[in-house]
Amino acid sequence: MASDICRRAVEVIGDGVPSVEGSLTGYHHETYAFTLSVEAGASFGERWKIREPRERLLWFDRRCFASEYYLLHSLQRSIDVVPEVAPVGGVELQRFVEGVTLGERHPSGEAVPGVVFEQILELFRQLIAVTSDTLVVKQKCKPRDRVEDGDSAGFLERLIWFTQECVYGQNLPEYEDLFTNLGLGLNSFEYLRNHVDGLTSRPFCLLHADLHRENFILDSAGKVWVIDWELAMLGDPLYDLATHLHLMRYPAQQEREIIQRWCAIAEEVREGSSEGWIEDLPRLLDYKKAQSLFTDVIRETQSLVVTGRLDRRRLREASSKVWDVLWPAAEPLGLTSRPSLLEIEAALLRWGRRDAAAHT
């Protein structure tokens, strides 16, 4: 049965055009791509996409803007790698960028080509230049989630609070035993707070907050476009760099280079934007390691039970992925003992059997 968003896509494309393609791959959104008819107002050969958040989706990150569409609309003149947006037939559309993801060409762990590397640095230059004074778009952050411009410590505290309350706390009824078996509890967050305490103040700017290889699209001309802005927020610029490094997995030499270049660009755009980075970048990276553990544990379990049945074939792969994120997070979360791969597999098996029984 076609979803509401799919039906809207069919209604807006007009007659005499190819069918709608989708739903396209993506965790957060249901997305459809199509070519608009000339009557609908699009240029020949150009594809557009319509997207909406998936139903019953687990959210692991804060949402700070009421509408990704209106955010992209407001960024058209300040960031040149944002795909165009347009209202057509009462539907908010984004241009579909034809190309391949950076991850398809250069998977995680590989060096990024110089021409792409320079475009990523230019993106950071443009992001740091966008501030709350220049960005006019409605925010959805609750007052308790907003901190004063430059309060980097308060900004990180709100991120930790979100992970504790909205990722750990809201899923605790279903995952408490699994978390406990992995050594995770409320004391983990207190340890994390002490571990990352003492950030230096830096002036806030716009953050994409999800700059990984699958969100960079390379078109046929070699230009890099940036998609999936739903996690964007105003905050500490160094957090955007930390998130980028955590997700990209650059080789060591290229990681050192992008840190050095980023600091120079940040200071050139807004003085103080890289202040204290030597001490604070490791703290922010440790928060990302801790956050990833909670989110990835939950995500991996979602694939273990399918239509009420435990899929034993996925168990070893899921266990390995949890192992991969647990070890880096052990220090910032204060885990004095770390479960072995077999212990993780046993914990996931117990969770999976219980979950499957609950759905029969």
pLDDT in tens, 95-120: 888 999 999 999 999 999 999 999 99
What are the residues whose beta carbons fall under 8 Å from the beta carbon of 326, sequence distance 6 or more? Answer: 182, 293, 335, 338, 339, 344
Distance CA 177, CA 172 (A): 8
What are the residues whose beta carbons fall under 8 Å from the beta carbon of 4, sequence distance 6 or more? Answer: none
pLDDT tens track of the chain, all 360 residues? 345 555 555 555 555 445 666 556 555 567 777 777 655 555 545 787 887 765 555 567 787 888 888 999 999 999 999 999 888 767 788 888 899 999 999 999 999 999 999 999 999 999 999 999 999 887 777 777 778 999 999 999 999 999 999 999 999 999 999 999 999 999 999 999 999 999 999 999 999 999 999 999 999 999 999 999 999 999 999 999 999 999 999 999 999 999 999 999 999 999 999 999 999 999 999 999 999 999 999 999 988 887 778 888 899 999 999 999 999 999 999 998 899 999 999 999 999 888 877 766
Distance CA 140, CA 229 (A): 14
Q: What is the DSSP string of 248-267?
A: H---HHHHHHHHHHHHHHHH
Say if CB 22 and CB 13 are below 8 A apart: no
pLDDT (0 to 100) of residue 110: 97
Domain range list for the chain:
1-57, 101-358
Q: What is the DSSP string of 207-231?
A: E-----GGGEEE-TTS-EEE---TT
pTM: 0.90
Amino acid at 122: E
Q: Considering the domain delimited by 101-358, tell me its CATH architecture.
A: Alpha-Beta Complex (3.90)
End-to-end CA distance of the chain: 24
